[in-house]
Amino acid sequence: MRKTVGVSLLLIVLSLVLVKYFTFSSDTEEDNDNYQRYFNKSYKVFAIELPDSISFCDEVVPTDMVDIEERLDREMLVNSYWQSQTLLFFKRANKYFPVIEPILKEKGVPDDFKYIALIESGLTNIVSPAGASGYWHFLKKTAQQYNLEVNDAVDERYNLEKSTIAFCDYILEANSKFNNWTLAAASYNMGMTGIQKQINRQKVNNYYDLLLNDETGRYVFRILAVKEILSNPQKYGFHFRPKDLYQPYDYSIVEVDYPIESLVNFSQENGINYKILKELNPWLRRSNLPNTKGNSYEVKIATKGLYSITQPSDSI
């Protein structure tokens, strides 16, 4: 019994010593000094070395101007050190850029514009406080202006292919108006009317010479930062393997020009479950498709992987 008690006391004392050794308290000046030395040795944050030159759609950014350099530096720091968000950008870009890039090319829109989808929505179908929705964050009125169907049953802002086409139509119109891709990009945030108003008011026609609100003033620099980091991941501390990136979906297309009373039944009839049907077709906003006008829709049906139905068991 005495031996057991002795061993227990020894273990308790040893535990207290280990806790004291590995834990820094603020009780003594020596402890504070030890903590500070440990902190200085272990924790390091580095300033970002900006690229020697950077451009958007081959339009050179005047980084020799002090304010321009500082604004770019801010966005480079934010996106380099918000590691979780930027790493998700890499992962999602691998999944969705193969859809976006060919559409931009076909429509004659520079490839750099694909980064707008990342800074707008992170390539997720989130809704902004102003009600902008989908991958490209269209407002309802603007979406309808560029031929996207938006109602309680179908919202094509959530259709990646169709919303990308609508985005291209907007950017081409803006570039035709301003004859400048950078101003066209800024107008996607502020609106063409808003940018034109500031051009007239300030008597300059260059984005980098305009005094704009904070959001639009940062907008192009956010695009530039994401472009630079995604183009040079290891330079900015991002390391991953191909298998770490999200992969594009494998799917086939079913043409639908009729009402669907139950999308649950429709998904099962096509060999997938309702969850995956909505994952691939987030533009279907209800559990049915009224389609009273007989419109033709392309519905994606998954063809590979974990997308088949798991039937519920009859047993308990």
pLDDT tens by residue, 75-119: 999 999 999 999 999 999 999 999 999 999 999 999 999 999 999
Task: Look at residue 40 in the predicted model and tell me its pLDDT.
Answer: 79
Check residue 173 and give its pLDDT.
98
pLDDT for 22 equals 52
Average pLDDT over residues 29-54: 84
30 pLDDT tier (thresholds 50, 70, 90): confident
Lowest mean pLDDT among 30-34, 123-127, 279-283: 30-34
For the entire predicted model, the pTM comes to 0.85
pLDDT at 315: 37
pLDDT of residue 9: 56
Query: Which has more confidence, 86 or 316?
Result: 86
Confidence of residue 34 (pLDDT cuts 50, 70, 90): confident
The pLDDT of residue 146 is 97
What stretches of the chain show up as alpha helix (H) in DSSP? 2-22, 29-42, 66-81, 83-107, 114-121, 140-145, 160-178, 181-190, 192-202, 214-231, 263-269, 274-280
Among 5-19, 44-58, 172-186, 285-299, name the one with the lowest average pLDDT: 5-19
Residue 45 above 70 pLDDT?
yes
CATH code that applies to domain 59-244: 1.10.530.10
pLDDT at 4: 55
Q: Where does residue 133 rank: exposed (0-12), middle (13-18), buried (19+ CB within 10 A)?
A: buried
CA distance 273 to 278: 9
Percent of the chain with pLDDT over 70: 87
16-25, 207-216, 262-271, 278-287: the lowest-pLDDT one: 16-25
Instruction: For the beta carbon of residue 17, count every other beta carbon within 10 angstroms.
Output: 10
pLDDT score for 14: 54
Mean pLDDT of the chain: 90
Q: How many CA atoms lie within 13 A of 133 on its CB side?
A: 18
Question: Looking at 40-49, 51-60, 150-159, which range is the least confident one?
Answer: 40-49
Q: For residue range 161-214, what is the model confidence (pLDDT) as tens digits? A: 999 999 999 999 999 999 999 999 999 999 999 999 999 999 999 999 999 999
Predicted pLDDT at 147: 97
| Type of residue found at 10 | L
The total number of residues shown for the chain amounts to 316
| Angle of CA points 98, 242, 277, to nearest 5° | 50
CA distances from 43 to 7, 22, 82, 121 (A): 39, 17, 16, 32
Residue 308 has pLDDT above 50, yes or no: no
Question: In whole angstroms, what is the distance from residue 26 CA to residue 30 CA?
Answer: 9
For the chain, what percent of residues have pLDDT higher than 90?
A: 79
Query: What phi and psi, each to the nearest 5 degrees, are found at residue 100?
Result: -75, -45
Q: Which of 13-17, 88-92, 155-159, 303-307 has the lowest mean pLDDT?
A: 13-17
Predicted pLDDT at 189: 97
Q: How confident is the model at residue 44 (pLDDT cuts 50, 70, 90)?
A: confident
